[in-house]
């Protein structure tokens, strides 16, 4: 089955890039790996027939968010972006958390089987009209709230990036 093969390819790619985000020493390289992970995820969205969301993910995340990240990394130039080595306490607690999460993932994989057959016909997410219909009927109020939230976020960014004189630094 080509779809299964594609799933394995995309999922392996995405997980590898996500791991590279976490373990990369350089912040710019981490951002680039994040970009690649998003592209892999967009491929998975295409496999799930959510074509519009795949395109939006690439546009909004890869286009805007990662570009913003790279811009801020460039602006701050965080000591060349290099991370110091992990301390012993960090490694210990991370290993404990990793063990717990691994147990959780294993039990999810072995016991959490949800019986779900693929519904017949093309997926509902493939149809652009259904998005518009949902957004302008059932989800009309959330759309307006999100619009206000974007406005507030814009104002917040303007206020935050202004220089405030006479504020005392916390020593």
Q: How far is the CB of 9 from another protein (least distance, A)?
A: 12
| Planar angle of CA 50, 54, 56, nearest 5 degrees | 115
Q: How far is the CB of 84 from another protein (least distance, A)?
A: 7
Residue closer to another protein by CB (options 114, 166) is 114
Shortest reach from residue 162's CB to another protein, in Å: 9
Q: Compute the least distance from the CB of residue 78 to another protein, in Å.
A: 6
**Cβ contact 125:52 at 8 Å:** yes
In the complex, the smallest distance separating the C-beta of residue 166 from another protein, rounded to whole angstroms, is: 13
Q: Name every residue whose Cβ is closer than 8 Å to that of residue 99 and which is 6 or more positions away in sequence.
A: none
Q: What's the number of CA atoms in the CB half-sphere (13 Å) around residue 157?
A: 5
């Amino acid at each position: 089955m080509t779809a299964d093969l594609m799933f394995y390819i995309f999922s392996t790619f995405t997980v590898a890039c996500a791991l590279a985000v976490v373990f990369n020493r350089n912040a710019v390289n981490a951002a680039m790996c994040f970009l690649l992970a998003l592209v892999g995820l967009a491929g998975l969205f295409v496999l799930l027939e959510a074509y519009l969301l795949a395109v939006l993910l690439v546009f909004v995340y890869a286009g805007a968010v990662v570009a913003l990240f790279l811009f801020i990394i460039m602006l701050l130039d965080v000591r060349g972006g290099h991370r110091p080595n992990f301390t012993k306490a960090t490694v210990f607690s991370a290993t404990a958390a990793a063990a717990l999460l691994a147990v959780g993932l294993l039990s999810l994989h072995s016991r959490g089987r949800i019986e779900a057959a693929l519904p017949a016909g093309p997926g509902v997410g493939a149809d652009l009209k259904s998005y518009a219909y949902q957004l302008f009927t059932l989800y009309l109020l959330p759309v307006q709230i999100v619009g206000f939230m974007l406005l507030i976020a814009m104002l917040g960014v303007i206020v935050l990036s202004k220089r405030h004189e006479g504020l005392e630094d916390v020593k």
